[in-house]
Structure 1
Amino acid sequence: MTEQFELHSQLAADCVEVAELPLCKLLLCNDSNYPWFILVPKVHGVSEVFQLEWNEQQQLLNESSMIAEMLMQTFNGDKLNVAALGNVVPQLHIHHVVRFENDAAWPKPIWGVVPTKQYSNAQLEEIKLKVLPQLEAVLAK
Protein backbone atom coordinates (compact mmCIF):
# COMPACT_ATOMS: atom_id res chain seq x y z
CA MET A 1 0.00 0.00 0.00
CA THR A 2 1.39 3.43 -0.94
CA GLU A 3 1.60 6.06 1.74
CA GLN A 4 -0.80 8.98 1.79
CA PHE A 5 0.31 12.47 0.88
CA GLU A 6 0.65 14.75 3.88
CA LEU A 7 1.58 18.43 3.72
CA HIS A 8 4.87 19.14 5.51
CA SER A 9 4.26 20.69 8.93
CA GLN A 10 6.34 23.79 8.13
CA LEU A 11 4.30 24.51 4.99
CA ALA A 12 1.09 23.93 6.94
CA ALA A 13 2.27 26.37 9.64
CA ASP A 14 3.49 29.08 7.25
CA CYS A 15 0.77 28.96 4.60
CA VAL A 16 -2.94 29.09 3.94
CA GLU A 17 -4.48 26.55 1.56
CA VAL A 18 -6.09 28.31 -1.39
CA ALA A 19 -7.08 25.58 -3.85
CA GLU A 20 -6.70 21.98 -4.96
CA LEU A 21 -5.41 21.54 -8.50
CA PRO A 22 -5.27 18.19 -10.31
CA LEU A 23 -1.71 17.47 -9.08
CA CYS A 24 -0.90 20.18 -6.55
CA LYS A 25 -2.16 22.02 -3.54
CA LEU A 26 -1.97 25.78 -4.06
CA LEU A 27 -0.85 27.57 -0.92
CA LEU A 28 -0.49 31.25 -0.05
CA CYS A 29 2.53 32.00 2.13
CA ASN A 30 1.28 34.02 5.07
CA ASP A 31 3.62 36.95 4.37
CA SER A 32 1.92 40.07 3.07
CA ASN A 33 5.23 41.60 1.98
CA TYR A 34 4.81 39.80 -1.36
CA PRO A 35 2.11 37.89 -3.26
CA TRP A 36 3.81 34.53 -2.58
CA PHE A 37 2.17 31.30 -3.66
CA ILE A 38 3.48 27.75 -3.39
CA LEU A 39 2.57 24.67 -5.42
CA VAL A 40 2.99 21.34 -3.63
CA PRO A 41 2.52 18.14 -5.65
CA LYS A 42 0.26 15.77 -3.74
CA VAL A 43 2.71 12.90 -4.06
CA HIS A 44 4.21 11.20 -1.00
CA GLY A 45 7.96 11.14 -0.46
CA VAL A 46 9.06 13.39 -3.31
CA SER A 47 11.72 16.04 -2.83
CA GLU A 48 12.84 16.65 -6.43
CA VAL A 49 10.96 17.13 -9.72
CA PHE A 50 12.77 14.20 -11.39
CA GLN A 51 11.30 11.84 -8.76
CA LEU A 52 7.80 12.45 -10.12
CA GLU A 53 6.43 10.17 -12.82
CA TRP A 54 6.79 11.66 -16.30
CA ASN A 55 3.09 12.57 -16.56
CA GLU A 56 3.26 14.20 -13.09
CA GLN A 57 6.28 16.24 -14.21
CA GLN A 58 4.29 17.47 -17.20
CA GLN A 59 1.28 18.27 -15.01
CA LEU A 60 3.50 20.18 -12.56
CA LEU A 61 4.91 22.26 -15.40
CA ASN A 62 1.39 22.94 -16.69
CA GLU A 63 0.09 23.96 -13.26
CA SER A 64 3.16 26.10 -12.55
CA SER A 65 2.89 27.92 -15.88
CA MET A 66 -0.84 28.46 -15.39
CA ILE A 67 -0.31 29.84 -11.86
CA ALA A 68 2.56 32.04 -13.05
CA GLU A 69 0.50 33.65 -15.81
CA MET A 70 -2.56 34.05 -13.59
CA LEU A 71 -0.52 35.68 -10.79
CA MET A 72 1.20 38.15 -13.11
CA GLN A 73 -2.14 39.14 -14.63
CA THR A 74 -3.86 39.38 -11.25
CA PHE A 75 -1.14 41.32 -9.40
CA ASN A 76 0.45 43.17 -12.35
CA GLY A 77 3.96 42.40 -11.12
CA ASP A 78 7.24 43.52 -12.63
CA LYS A 79 8.81 40.05 -12.37
CA LEU A 80 7.89 36.58 -11.17
CA ASN A 81 10.39 34.53 -9.16
CA VAL A 82 9.84 30.77 -9.44
CA ALA A 83 12.03 28.49 -7.34
CA ALA A 84 12.21 25.00 -5.87
CA LEU A 85 14.82 25.14 -3.13
CA GLY A 86 13.91 22.57 -0.50
CA ASN A 87 16.88 23.28 1.75
CA VAL A 88 14.67 23.79 4.82
CA VAL A 89 11.50 21.90 3.82
CA PRO A 90 12.43 18.70 1.95
CA GLN A 91 8.94 18.12 0.50
CA LEU A 92 8.87 19.20 -3.15
CA HIS A 93 7.29 22.64 -3.40
CA ILE A 94 7.58 25.40 -5.98
CA HIS A 95 7.58 29.05 -4.88
CA HIS A 96 5.87 31.60 -7.15
CA VAL A 97 6.59 35.11 -5.86
CA VAL A 98 5.26 38.18 -7.62
CA ARG A 99 7.92 40.88 -7.43
CA PHE A 100 7.70 44.63 -7.79
CA GLU A 101 10.53 47.08 -8.39
CA ASN A 102 9.42 48.90 -5.23
CA ASP A 103 9.15 45.84 -2.94
CA ALA A 104 11.27 45.60 0.19
CA ALA A 105 13.81 43.16 -1.26
CA TRP A 106 14.09 44.30 -4.88
CA PRO A 107 16.21 43.27 -6.75
CA LYS A 108 17.53 40.67 -4.29
CA PRO A 109 15.87 37.35 -3.38
CA ILE A 110 13.15 37.75 -0.75
CA TRP A 111 14.46 35.38 1.92
CA GLY A 112 15.60 37.08 5.12
CA VAL A 113 15.44 40.66 3.84
CA VAL A 114 12.50 41.88 5.93
CA PRO A 115 10.54 40.24 8.75
CA THR A 116 7.47 38.23 7.81
CA LYS A 117 4.26 40.27 8.02
CA GLN A 118 1.18 38.05 8.36
CA TYR A 119 -2.01 38.82 6.50
CA SER A 120 -5.08 39.91 8.44
CA ASN A 121 -8.19 37.76 7.94
CA ALA A 122 -9.66 40.52 5.76
CA GLN A 123 -6.51 40.61 3.61
CA LEU A 124 -6.59 36.81 3.22
CA GLU A 125 -10.19 36.99 2.03
CA GLU A 126 -9.32 39.81 -0.38
CA ILE A 127 -6.47 37.75 -1.89
CA LYS A 128 -8.76 34.72 -2.28
CA LEU A 129 -11.42 36.89 -3.93
CA LYS A 130 -8.79 38.10 -6.40
CA VAL A 131 -7.25 34.73 -7.15
CA LEU A 132 -10.02 32.11 -6.99
CA PRO A 133 -12.23 33.49 -9.80
CA GLN A 134 -9.16 33.81 -12.04
CA LEU A 135 -8.11 30.27 -11.19
CA GLU A 136 -11.59 28.87 -11.79
CA ALA A 137 -11.76 30.60 -15.17
CA VAL A 138 -8.45 29.08 -16.26
CA LEU A 139 -9.32 25.60 -14.98
CA ALA A 140 -12.68 25.71 -16.77
CA LYS A 141 -10.98 26.04 -20.18
Structure 2
Amino acid sequence: MTAFTLDPRLQNDTFSIGPLGLCQLLLMNDKRWPWLILVPQRANLAEIHELTPLDQTMLSFETAMVAEAMKAATACEKINTGALGNIVRQLHVHIIARNSGDTAWPRPVWGHGSREPYSKAEADQLISTLRARLLA
Protein backbone atom coordinates (compact mmCIF):
# COMPACT_ATOMS: atom_id res chain seq x y z
CA MET A 1 0.00 0.00 0.00
CA THR A 2 1.36 3.42 -1.01
CA ALA A 3 1.41 6.14 1.63
CA PHE A 4 -0.52 9.38 1.13
CA THR A 5 1.59 12.38 0.15
CA LEU A 6 0.33 15.86 -0.73
CA ASP A 7 0.97 16.99 -4.30
CA PRO A 8 3.89 19.48 -4.27
CA ARG A 9 1.81 22.12 -6.11
CA LEU A 10 -0.83 22.01 -3.38
CA GLN A 11 1.91 22.06 -0.73
CA ASN A 12 3.52 25.14 -2.28
CA ASP A 13 0.31 27.12 -2.94
CA THR A 14 -1.45 26.67 0.40
CA PHE A 15 -1.35 27.00 4.16
CA SER A 16 -2.25 23.94 6.20
CA ILE A 17 -5.30 24.34 8.42
CA GLY A 18 -5.06 20.76 9.62
CA PRO A 19 -6.52 17.29 9.30
CA LEU A 20 -10.20 16.43 9.43
CA GLY A 21 -11.44 12.83 9.57
CA LEU A 22 -10.68 11.96 5.94
CA CYS A 23 -9.16 15.09 4.47
CA GLN A 24 -6.35 17.52 4.93
CA LEU A 25 -7.80 21.05 4.96
CA LEU A 26 -5.76 23.73 3.20
CA LEU A 27 -6.12 27.49 2.61
CA MET A 28 -5.17 28.62 -0.89
CA ASN A 29 -2.64 31.45 -0.68
CA ASP A 30 -4.75 33.95 -2.64
CA LYS A 31 -6.61 36.56 -0.64
CA ARG A 32 -8.84 37.67 -3.53
CA TRP A 33 -11.23 34.89 -2.52
CA PRO A 34 -11.30 32.89 0.69
CA TRP A 35 -10.50 29.52 -0.88
CA LEU A 36 -10.20 26.20 0.91
CA ILE A 37 -9.09 22.84 -0.44
CA LEU A 38 -10.00 19.44 0.97
CA VAL A 39 -7.59 16.63 0.05
CA PRO A 40 -8.66 13.09 0.96
CA GLN A 41 -5.71 11.39 2.65
CA ARG A 42 -5.71 8.44 0.26
CA ALA A 43 -2.85 7.58 -2.09
CA ASN A 44 -3.03 7.68 -5.87
CA LEU A 45 -6.62 8.86 -6.34
CA ALA A 46 -7.80 11.33 -8.96
CA GLU A 47 -11.59 10.90 -8.93
CA ILE A 48 -14.30 10.89 -6.27
CA HIS A 49 -15.68 7.57 -7.57
CA GLU A 50 -12.31 5.95 -6.76
CA LEU A 51 -12.97 6.46 -3.04
CA THR A 52 -14.67 3.68 -1.10
CA PRO A 53 -18.39 4.28 -0.44
CA LEU A 54 -17.59 5.14 3.18
CA ASP A 55 -14.89 7.61 2.13
CA GLN A 56 -17.31 9.16 -0.39
CA THR A 57 -19.75 9.72 2.47
CA MET A 58 -17.01 11.23 4.64
CA LEU A 59 -15.91 13.54 1.81
CA SER A 60 -19.49 14.72 1.34
CA PHE A 61 -19.86 15.33 5.09
CA GLU A 62 -16.54 17.17 5.39
CA THR A 63 -17.28 19.27 2.29
CA ALA A 64 -20.60 20.41 3.75
CA MET A 65 -19.06 21.04 7.19
CA VAL A 66 -16.23 23.14 5.75
CA ALA A 67 -18.56 25.04 3.39
CA GLU A 68 -20.82 25.92 6.32
CA ALA A 69 -17.83 27.13 8.37
CA MET A 70 -16.54 29.15 5.41
CA LYS A 71 -19.91 30.81 4.82
CA ALA A 72 -20.22 31.73 8.51
CA ALA A 73 -16.62 32.96 8.77
CA THR A 74 -16.74 35.15 5.64
CA ALA A 75 -20.44 36.12 5.39
CA CYS A 76 -20.13 35.46 1.66
CA GLU A 77 -23.13 35.38 -0.68
CA LYS A 78 -22.26 32.09 -2.37
CA ILE A 79 -20.07 29.05 -1.86
CA ASN A 80 -18.59 27.51 -5.01
CA THR A 81 -17.60 23.85 -4.65
CA GLY A 82 -15.74 21.89 -7.29
CA ALA A 83 -13.40 19.00 -7.97
CA LEU A 84 -11.70 19.67 -11.30
CA GLY A 85 -8.22 18.17 -11.19
CA ASN A 86 -7.21 19.28 -14.68
CA ILE A 87 -3.79 20.53 -13.53
CA VAL A 88 -3.30 18.87 -10.13
CA ARG A 89 -4.49 15.29 -10.64
CA GLN A 90 -4.51 14.38 -6.94
CA LEU A 91 -8.12 14.24 -5.77
CA HIS A 92 -9.04 17.51 -4.08
CA VAL A 93 -12.17 19.62 -3.61
CA HIS A 94 -12.23 23.42 -3.81
CA ILE A 95 -14.53 25.45 -1.56
CA ILE A 96 -14.49 29.11 -2.53
CA ALA A 97 -16.34 32.03 -0.90
CA ARG A 98 -17.81 34.31 -3.56
CA ASN A 99 -19.55 37.67 -3.57
CA SER A 100 -21.18 39.59 -6.40
CA GLY A 101 -18.57 42.35 -6.00
CA ASP A 102 -15.49 40.16 -6.42
CA THR A 103 -13.26 40.73 -9.42
CA ALA A 104 -14.21 37.53 -11.26
CA TRP A 105 -17.96 37.56 -10.52
CA PRO A 106 -19.94 35.80 -11.93
CA ARG A 107 -17.27 33.81 -13.76
CA PRO A 108 -15.06 31.07 -12.25
CA VAL A 109 -11.97 32.15 -10.33
CA TRP A 110 -9.60 29.86 -12.25
CA GLY A 111 -7.30 31.73 -14.61
CA HIS A 112 -8.54 35.16 -13.51
CA GLY A 113 -5.82 37.73 -12.87
CA SER A 114 -2.79 37.24 -10.67
CA ARG A 115 -2.71 35.68 -7.25
CA GLU A 116 -2.53 38.06 -4.28
CA PRO A 117 -0.75 36.23 -1.44
CA TYR A 118 -1.85 36.59 2.17
CA SER A 119 0.48 38.14 4.69
CA LYS A 120 1.28 35.69 7.47
CA ALA A 121 -0.97 37.67 9.85
CA GLU A 122 -3.90 37.61 7.39
CA ALA A 123 -3.56 33.88 6.81
CA ASP A 124 -3.20 33.16 10.52
CA GLN A 125 -6.34 35.19 11.30
CA LEU A 126 -8.52 33.38 8.74
CA ILE A 127 -7.12 29.98 9.75
CA SER A 128 -7.84 30.74 13.40
CA THR A 129 -11.41 31.83 12.59
CA LEU A 130 -12.04 28.70 10.53
CA ARG A 131 -10.55 26.37 13.13
CA ALA A 132 -12.80 27.92 15.79
CA ARG A 133 -15.88 27.41 13.60
CA LEU A 134 -14.93 23.84 12.71
CA LEU A 135 -14.28 22.88 16.31
CA ALA A 136 -17.41 24.57 17.71
The 3-state SS of whatever aligns with 1:130 is: helix
User: Match for residue 27 of structure 1?
Assistant: 26
Q: Which residue of 2 aligns with 1:106?
A: 105
Q: Which runs of 4+ in 1 moved over 6 A?
A: none
Superposed displacement of residue 112, structure 1: 1.6
Q: Unmatched 5+ residue regions in structure 1?
A: none
Cα deviation, 1:77-125, whole Å, max 9, x if unaligned, reads 1111100000000000000000011111000000121210000011011
Task: Name the aligned partner's letter for residue 92 of structure 2.
Answer: H
Aligned equivalents of 2:88, 2:111: Cα separation in 1 = 16
> Given residue 14 of structure 1, which amino acid in structure 2 is its aligned partner?
D
- SS of the aligned residue for 2:81 comes to strand
1:51 partnered with 2:50: yes
Distance in 1, Cα, partners of 2:106 & 2:70? 19
Secondary structure of the corresponding residue to residue 101 of structure 2? coil
Structure 2: gaps of 5 or more residues: none
Instruction: Give the distance between the partners of 1:27 and 1:103, measured in 2 at CA.
Output: 21
Equivalent-residue separation in structure 2 for 1:52 and 1:136 (angstroms) = 25
Residue of structure 2 in register with 1:132 after alignment: 131
Q: Which amino acid aligns with 2:54?
A: N
Q: Does 35-44 or 110-119 show the bigger shift?
A: 110-119
Which amino acid in 2 is paired with 1:79? K
The 2-side partners of 1:135 and 1:85 are apart by 25
Q: In the alignment, what sits opposite 2:13?
A: 14
Secondary structure of the equivalent of 1:81? strand
TM-score, scaled relative to structure 2 = 0.98
Percent identity at matched positions? 37
Tell me by how many angstroms 1:128 deviates. Answer: 1.4
Give SS of 2:17's match: strand
What is the aligned-residue RMSD (CA, Å)?
0.6
